[in-house]
Homo-oligomer: A and B are copies of this chain.
Amino acid sequence: MTGDTRRPHTGRRRNEAARRAILDVAVELLGRTDDAPVTIDTIAAAAGVGKQTIYRWWPSKGAVLLEAMAERAGHDIPVPDTGTLRGDLDEFLTATFRRAGMRLTATVLRHSMAEAQRDQHAREQMRAFVGARRDVLRGVLARARDRGEIAPDADLDLIVDQAYGVLWYRILTGHAPLGDADASRLARALSDQAAATLTP
């Protein structure tokens, strides 16, 4: 194969430090409890960056915010392997709820979801983020199915929705916190639900 399509890319290369600063500042500003709205000018100023540098790499404000959110809220929830569905769910939901229950993360998630309702780019990124988290949880359930812990007619997507539904609903309305006990109780209820057969 001779076709070397490598383009030399003349000119200055993207400044990775700026990218980091922008995303870090975005998370920090999004996480503020005071209702001061997060603006591009604020982000640029706090990151010591020109506005154009932001718009060169992201299509809109929402896109920046959502990428910042996804970075923070998506990673480092380990995929558990306790051997039982209930154990796996308990561990996973506890870790997930703990993370989402942190004040900073919760605020970031709240405002990101709000942004996703207005900004098309943010909407798509939220879709991708949510899809990725769902896939992880579905993976846990799929493993349990392979172990025979799950009824063949169980609606796994609904179970995933129940888990993340409780999480987002509480974060967005703030009517109750996300506690460890809630995670455990929910884990038990959902594993029971997954095991139940449809025939009454």
Contact = CB atoms under 8 A, between A and B. Distances in A.
Copies of this chain, complex-wide, total 4
Contacts of A110: 117
Interface of A: 35, 37, 110-111, 113-120, 123, 126-127, 130-131, 134, 155, 157-158, 161-162, 164-170, 172-176, 182, 185-186, 189, 192-193, 196, 200
A196 B185 contact: no
A169 B170 contact: no
Contact of A130 (B130, B161, B175, B189): B175
B118 A37 contact: yes
Contact of A172 (B113, B157, B162, B196): B113
Contacts of A196: 189, 192
